[in-house]
Amino acid sequence: MAIIYSYPTANPTAVDFVLGTITDPITEENKTVQFSVSAIATLATQGYLESTITITAAQLNALQGTDVQLIAAPGANKYINVLNACFYFDYTAPQYTFAASPTAQINNVDFFTIPSNRLSAAADVVHSLGNLPGGDIAANTALVLGTNGTVTGSGNGSLQVKIRYQILNTSSF
């Protein structure tokens, strides 16, 4: 067998395989096997969900009076745990003017805020919302986006919000 650093390097794809070892549950012996890169990726992200929600110009213009559901209520004994969020604002004239930044909430607890100056910009914007604050999470409650301030200017751009989250179940925590 060649020395490991003598092999060429490559960028794997989901259909590629890597060698690994599993333990036989009966004999407790180690066996060399192949794992697909996609199976390893699935294992690494197990329990994490990701959604991209598109918020139209009409929804943004009506945001003061009508919240937009980002993630539906998950059911009895279940909670939405927001891990990360980012957004892409696709600017189309005219500009929006937000009196207050839109905030994503679960039962009136803020989980992230989209800076109003990013939505009032006359340019496309991709923005990471960074470290999200923690807070008590209400059971079986949707994550919604809303604003307490007026939205003026009759903007025409759309907003895509990408959210990584978990559904926590207290029946099998």
pLDDT of residue 43: 78
pLDDT of residue 87: 97
Beta strands 97-98; 78-90: pairing state? unpaired
* pLDDT exceeds cutoff 90 at 37: no
Q: What is the mean pLDDT of residues 46-72?
A: 93
pLDDT of residue 42: 75
| Weakest mean pLDDT among 16-30, 38-52, 118-132 | 38-52
Q: What is the residue type of 142?
A: A
Secondary structure, 3-state, 112-168: EECCHHHHCCCCCEEEECCCCCCCCCCCCCCEEEECCCCEECCCCCEEEEEEEEEEE
CA distances from 78 to 35, 75, 152, 162, 169 (A): 33, 6, 37, 21, 4
* pLDDT exceeds cutoff 70 at 21: yes
Delimit the CATH 2.60.120 region(s) of the chain. 49-172
CATH number of 49-172: 2.60.120
Q: What is the mean pLDDT of residues 63-79?
A: 95
Q: 134 is written with which tokens?
A: 């923690």
